[in-house]
Every structure is written in structure tokens, then in C-alpha cells.
Structure 1
């Protein structure tokens, strides 16, 4: 599989993804406020230790506003974040209180000065935002590059089950309301593309201002992503199926689980 890509096209894709999350950034914590990040990271830490994680240096790729980064820091890890959105990264940086660094970069071109790390995480279906398998392979190659020998990459991936009937979501936070209709993100065939459209309504006096964020998503068959990981030098240590919440099963199934959690070793 080739990693070659048109730099101009890749730059446009990066700016589109960054712009979508720049728009969503002010409401992101409202939208994800009910997510059990601490419990989730607890489970992932146990999984990583089981597969040989011994160090404390962690890079969180696609860290967003810091929800998946802060739990590592609070557990004593030397953690660093990267996100493609300047506004998301700024919000994460504001939570840092000097405890960690956050860089603005595309996951396919991580800053050369980063690393080496004992573990790289990429959570919250970050790889599904990449719209072709070459881009996924490039991102995985970058994660491989910044790891120490024997280091772990821990990433999740939306499976076809997650896209078949995505639910509608409405979060009312008083002066800010977030609407996330699921229909646009529906994907019924392997490898299909959907679009997450999120409307944010913010009160301005007696009126409301609407901001719309559009985020294309692609279903990448798990077997193809595992092959891409192997192609850049990873050994697959495990591909776990996730049910809603933090319940993991030993083997991921596209038709049963909403997500796969993959552990890969450099």
C-alpha cells in the first residue's frame, strides 16, 4: 500500500478537519460532558499494562479539549497532546496548568521534535475522520515513528455497527444548545462515508446564533486497518470489541460491537 499523497489535497483535508472542530470547540465539552473518560482511561491503562507498558511517556493524538489527555496526567504520566484544531488545542492547553504541552498538528504529520514515547493513544474515532486508507496508514506510520522500540499504540475505531443507526443527540446547557442528528452519519455498507452535522445554538440577547460543524466520517473495515498497521511495522497485540460503556471483549466483531480497541506494538 502506498503512502504517497498529493500535498495540496492533504493540506485542504487538514484545514477542513481543523475548521470543523474550530467551530465545534466552544460546545465540545457540553456535547461530551456525560462521557465517562476517567473510567474509560482506567480500563485502557489496565489493558496497556497487561500488554507490556512500563514507561510513563504518553502522546494523545487527537486530544481535543483534553478529556482523553487529562486522565493520563492525573495518573502521573508525562503526557503530551496533539490536535488538528487550534481552538480545541487552546482549550486543552488552558486546562493544562503547566502540566503538559499541546501541539497543533495533523496526525499524518506529527511535529518532528516529538518523542520518543512509551505509548501513543488515538481515541474518539480519530482514524474514522481520515477518508482513505492511505491516510490511515500514514497516521499509523507517524505513531510508529514516535514510539520507543516495544512501545504501544492504543487506538479505537468505529465499526459498522456504530454507523447503522446513529442516535439523535440533544444537549441543553441553558444558553447553549447542541443538536446532533444521527441520520447524516448513517453508513450501511463497509467502507462507506457519512457526515456528522452538529448545530450549536448560542443565546445572544433575545436571539440565538447557530453555528454548524460538518465532519465527514468513513467506515474503515477493521481487517484493513490492522493490515495497514502491520504494513508500517506494528505487531497487533489485540483487537478488542467494545460495547457501550467500558465493557471490552477479547475479539472485535463489525456486526456486534460499536468500536474496536486496538493495541499494537512497535
Structure 2
């Protein structure tokens, strides 16, 4: 009987991305696990291009966090580790979380190759505080990751979890693709800042008010897809305030929005700014 050998061979087959018969119907938050298969994760750094991204991004996040006086950072969308490594190199205390085990594994390897050991936590944003310990000066959610949440309920819940993970004067830094431009004019990113891999083609295959489906083609002709929710800038800003953040400042491609009216990406900086009771008390007369 060859059944044992056949079974062993099947178990070693690399899983492929899984979509419904009509991929446009896959519009659920949990579906991202079926998209970030190991073969796609292994190619992710070709899309990011760490060197070019570091050059285009500069020290924007490092300088911002220092200016705000933050030291401990929870990176909730670690991916393959780019921002966690940049912040560790700059001297920040970083905890790296992600909902995808393959991503966290790749991030750990990337960090070790650069002389760092990541403190990693597998965590679903919707139950973030079940998995992390302590409170942080800052939570960062970068790489257009928030777009993986398809329902209003999931987005509100995740933001509430981010809020709860912050100290009383903490800050949330969250970025997103400029979906306003994509929805209104059909023009996608110019790949000048975030997805910098020159040999990788990343382009929208379908866009409507509830789905942005992107196609990624690599030099070896392999093709992958991601289904994401097209978040409008104003919607995200309003949602942050409704969840409890006191102030939201938005940058376009690492500049204030008035300096670049048509950016590839938006970066939202939302402050918690909940003062300690002692700080609210007026001075007592001597």
C-alpha cells in the first residue's frame, strides 16, 4: 500500500491562496489568513524593498515618536518586521505583534539577520488585550494593514483594543492607502513611498465601495492577490474620534496634508490624552 507515502507527500504541498469561486465574494476579516500563505510571505520583502523604503520614509516615525516623548511601542501589524527593526535600531522598546504566524516567523528571521531579537506576540486585534501584557506609549498599525478589517464592528473593536493598550497619554499611529483617489478616479499608488520593489507589479484588479482587490506579480511570474476594504480618509478619522481618541492629525506621504493634496498614503496620528486625576486638580493654597 502506498497510502502512507501519498499522505506524507500531500502534507508537504505548499498551500495556495484560497478564494471562493468568485473571489469578489470573499469580503470577511478572517479571510486574510487564507491570503498570506508562506510562499507569498517569503516574497513580501521583494514588494517592500527595505532599503528603498527606508530611503523614502526617512526617520518620519522615529522623529515623530521622539517628538511626542514616546519610548515603548507596540507594533500590531509587524508583517516581515521592517518598522519593528527600524525602531529597535533607534533605541525604542518594541513589542511586535501580528495575526499571521508566517509573518511573525519571517519578521523574527529578518531581525536576527540585522542583529536584533524581536519580542513577538501572535495576536488578533479584536482581542488584542487578551494576548499582550502591560500598556504602551504608542501603538503603530502600519503597512495599510487596517484595511484587512471588513466590518464596521471589527474596525471599532480593533480601535477600542488599541485605545485600551495605550497609557493615559498614549498615541496611535495608523496608515492607509489613499483609497479616496482610487475610488473616485481609479488611480492607484505611484509606489514612491511604501511598496517600493521595482520589479514587482502591484495594481488594483477590482474596486468598488466595499472591496479593493489587488494583484501582485513578481519577477518569477508568480501572482498573488489581496482583498481589502477601501477606507476613506474622513471615515477613518471620524471613527477614531468616535472610539475615544481626542485629536487626530493626518499626514500625506510623511508631510502635512496641505503640503501634498494627492498622496499615495495617509498617516493618522491619534492621541488618547486622558489626563491623570492628579493632574486635573487645582493647586491648593499654602
TM bracket (short chain) = 0.7 to 0.9
Task: Point out the more displaced range, 99-108 or 38-47.
Answer: 38-47
Gaps of 5+ in 1: 1-11, 173-177, 203-207
User: Is 1:24 matched with 2:35?
Assistant: no
The Cα of 1:35 is off from its aligned counterpart by: 3.8
Question: 2-side partners of 1:57 and 1:167: how far apart?
Answer: 31
Which has the larger helix fraction? 2
Instruction: Calculate the aligned-residue CA RMSD, in Å.
Output: 2.8
Question: 2-side partners of 1:154 and 1:263: how far apart?
Answer: 5
Residue 86 of structure 1 is matched in structure 2 by 101
* Residues 28 and 150, structure 2, Cα contact 8 Å, conserved in 1: no
User: Is 1:106 matched with 2:124?
Assistant: yes
Out of 234, 237, 244, the residue aligned to residue 233 of structure 1 is 244
The Cα of 1:44 is off from its aligned counterpart by: 2.0
Residue 257 of structure 1 is matched in structure 2 by 263
- 1:125-177 Cα distance to aligned partner (Å, 9 max, x none): 111222233322221111111100011101112222256222699855xxxxx
* Residues 122 and 155, structure 1, Cα contact 8 Å, conserved in 2: yes
Task: Point out the more displaced range, 111-120 or 64-73.
Answer: 111-120
Instruction: Please show how residues 1-266 of structure 1 align to structure 2 within 5 Å.
Output: 13-22=28-37, 23-33=39-49, 35-37=52-54, 40=57, 42-50=59-67, 53-97=68-112, 99-112=117-130, 113-159=132-178, 160-162=180-182, 164-166=186-188, 172=199, 178-180=200-202, 182-186=203-207, 191-200=209-218, 210=222, 212-242=223-253, 246=254, 248-251=255-258, 256-266=262-272
Question: 2-side partners of 1:26 and 1:224: how far apart?
Answer: 33
The Cα of 1:224 is off from its aligned counterpart by: 1.7
The Cα of 1:123 is off from its aligned counterpart by: 0.9
TM-score, L = length of structure 2 = 0.71
Question: Do the aligned partners of residues 184 and 85 (structure 1) sit closer, same or farther apart at CA in structure 2, a change above 3 Å counting?
Answer: same
* Residues 194 and 217, structure 1, Cα contact 8 Å, conserved in 2: yes
Question: Do the aligned partners of residues 261 and 139 (structure 1) sit closer, same or farther apart at CA in structure 2, a change above 3 Å counting?
Answer: same
Q: Which one has the largest radius of gyration? A: 2
Question: Do the aligned partners of residues 250 and 165 (structure 1) sit closer, same or farther apart at CA in structure 2, a change above 3 Å counting?
Answer: closer
The Cα of 1:67 is off from its aligned counterpart by: 0.9
* Residues 28 and 151, structure 2, Cα contact 8 Å, conserved in 1: no
Q: Aligned pairs, how many?
A: 232
Which has the larger strand fraction? 1
Question: 1-side partners of 2:166 and 2:58: how far apart?
Answer: 20
Question: 1-side partners of 2:171 and 2:58: how far apart?
Answer: 15
* Residues 241 and 248, structure 2, Cα contact 8 Å, conserved in 1: no
Match of 2:83, SS? coil
